[in-house]
Structure 1
Amino acid sequence: MSRPYILAETNWKAVKDTHYDVAVLPWGATEAHNYHLPYATDNYEADALAAEAVRLAWEAGRKVMVLPTIPFGVNTGQTDIKLCMNLYPSTQMAILRDLAEVVSRSGIKKLVVFNGHGGNDFKQMIREVGTHFPDLWISTCFWFKALDGSAYFDHVGDHADETETSLVLHLRPDLVLPLDEAGEGLAKKTSIHAMREGWAWAERKWSQVTEDTGVGNPKKATAEKGARFYKDLTQKLGQFFIELADADLNRLYE
């Protein structure tokens, strides 16, 4: 049965007379995730998390629509890793502008770029794209930072770690290799003190940081941990979408 809040599954009969409060655009990546996770890990996660969170908002009476996931992200730090698919930020901004135009002319006033990949950074793009569509309010969120992972997992990293492995074991166990085939996700840290302290930044050269493309040990991941995290995370995201749907754009600040 089609889900009315998933654009790819619904139809013109349902869409043409429905006023939507919020459009959600999941944006992932296609890249290596240690030895054991699929290249499309970020996309499977973004698809599932956005769909479940929006289901909760929809069933609470808010008209939120999930757009199809963009499957490619910024992977400029992985150019020497085979088939890590890259979009340059300028390309991303062009795509975002085109899709924002569609959302705007469809009469939807709020757009959320639902980020599922650490290499994507939409803040500056939104600043520019937003000036072209003054009637469209654009925001972004990165689900990876919505909950404190240490409350759920023994070893929290930031790529193909216990968090992501547990999630994919819950969502798509058929695509996960046995964990004894996974690398340990050991990662080197920068030797530049300012970058260690967080007030300076440079892109990581992935193959210099990690041998297996993972950052964070996945060995203690379980589907049970993933299910618990997924439930709590989607409930929090669902509340975010409900709050956005209810928000008066003329009274956003207290």
Structure 2
Amino acid sequence: MPSTLPGEVSSSDAIRLALRSWPEVDTYLEQCKGVIIPLGSTEQHGPTGAIGTDALTAEAVALELGRRSGVLVTPAQAFGMAEHHLGFAGTMSLQPSTLMAVLHDLVLSLATHGFERIFVVNGHGGNIATAKAAFAQAYGTATSRDLPVAPRLRCRMANWFMAGPVMQRARELYGNREGQHATPSEIALTLHLHDSLMEKQRPLPEAAPCGSIHGPADFRRRYPDGRMGSDPYLAKPDHGAEFLTTAATALRDDLETFLAAA
């Protein structure tokens, strides 16, 4: 049977899987078969952006989405496929095959317990292709293992930064200076989440224009300071609060449709 949203809760603690006991999860599964996984990356975001930007933003959006919907949220998967950023100190990447194996195993773990709808809130474009491949593999494994949920198991990738209302607002605020990496929209959300990051903000030279993405050495050559056509100095904490609300609102509709679908 399709699931419906359990309903809004007052605190994000109420929907954190990490704070539930196993009997509480069993009880939850009696009314809802959905779960949210925040997926990010640990990679450079230009000379002023936090290395944890993609994981911080994915988790924040996932928790706000969970609070508004009542759907459980797992701990964030903070490491993604960021091989092309390895030319910058602090970046920690999983190879595509490793990320694929991690996501496959996480989906199968949840499916084993009866979760049928896995909604991944993603904060990093480099994860998209690998995650979709992991979903396809998980469907096959669930079937081969004869898991009871196999016919109903579905995974969905929701890239918060690509939600229509988020992209529209970013264009309104920043125009073509939004760029493609270390964008002011994602930096704004981190500024909203962590006041200390304001200390890093400063004017920057014109960024290298957006273009191709290849290996680490080529990326460093094309984009010397890590930015791709972006001006993160335009970011403001109040913009970040707006992006958080806008993203959670847009993804809630997507989540509701996803849970209700046959």
Q: Say which of 157, 163, 182 aligns to 1:160.
A: 182
Helix, strand or coil at the partner of 2:125: coil
* In 1: Cα distance, 2:197 partner to 2:24 partner: 34
**Aligned partner of 1:219 among 233, 239, 253:** 233
Equivalents in 2 of 1:94, 1:114: separation in Å? 18
Aligned counterparts of 1:85 and 1:184: Cα–Cα separation in 2: 26
Query: Counterpart of 2:244 in structure 1: which amino acid?
Result: Y
The residue aligned with 1:3 is: 13
SS at match of 1:153: helix
Change (3 A) 1:53 1:185: farther
- Letter aligned with residue 69 of structure 2: A
Hey, what does 1:61 align to over in structure 2?
none
Distance in 2 of aligned mates of 1:229 and 1:69: 19
1:137-152 pair list within 5 angstroms: 137-146=154-163, 147-148=166-167, 149-152=170-173
What is the identity percentage for the equivalent residue pairs of Structure 1 and Structure 2?
Answer: 27
Q: Which amino acid aligns with 2:119?
A: V
Cα distance in structure 2, aligned partners of 1:11 and 1:2: 16
Q: Secondary structure at the match of 2:19?
A: coil
The separation in 2 between residues aligned to 1:55 and 1:187, in whole angstroms, is 39
Q: CA deviation at 1:124?
A: 2.4
Structure 1: gaps of 5 or more residues: 59-63, 196-200, 249-254
TM-score of the superposed pair, with normalisation by structure 2:
0.81
Please give the alpha-carbon distance, in whole angstroms, between the structure 1 residues aligned to 2:239 and 2:12: 29
Count matched residues. 233
Q: What is the CA-CA distance between 1:3 and the residue it aligns to?
A: 1.9
Specify the code of the residue in structure 2 equivalent to 1:41. Answer: T
Cα contact 1:166–1:223 (8 A) shared by 2 = yes
Matched, 1:75 2:82: yes
SS at match of 2:28: coil
Q: Residue 222 of structure 2 aligns to which amino acid in structure 1? A: V
Which residue identity does 1:212 align to in structure 2?
D
Structure 1 residues 111-139: Cα deviation after superposition (integer angstroms, max 9, x where no partner): 12221112112222222222112412112
> Is this contact kept in 1: 2:12–2:63, CA < 8 A?
no
Match of 1:207 among 203, 211, 220: 220
Structure 1 residue runs of 4 or more that deviate by more than 6 Å after TM superposition: none
Q: Are 2:41 and 1:29 aligned?
A: yes
Counterparts of 1:237 and 1:5, CA distance in 2? 16
The partner residue of 1:126 within 128, 132, 135 is 135
Q: Please state which structure has a larger fraction of its residues in helix.
A: 2
What do the CA deviations read for 1:51-75 (whole angstroms, capped 9, x no partner)? 10121111xxxxx211111111111
Counterparts of 2:206 and 2:226 in 1: how far apart (Å)?
Answer: 7
Q: Given residue 233 of structure 1, which amino acid in structure 2 is its aligned partner?
A: A
Q: Determine helix, strand or coil for the equivalent of 2:253.
A: helix
* Residues 1:12 and 1:107: Cα distance change in structure 2 (over 3 Å): same
Give distance in 2, aligned partners of 1:12 and 1:126.
Answer: 25
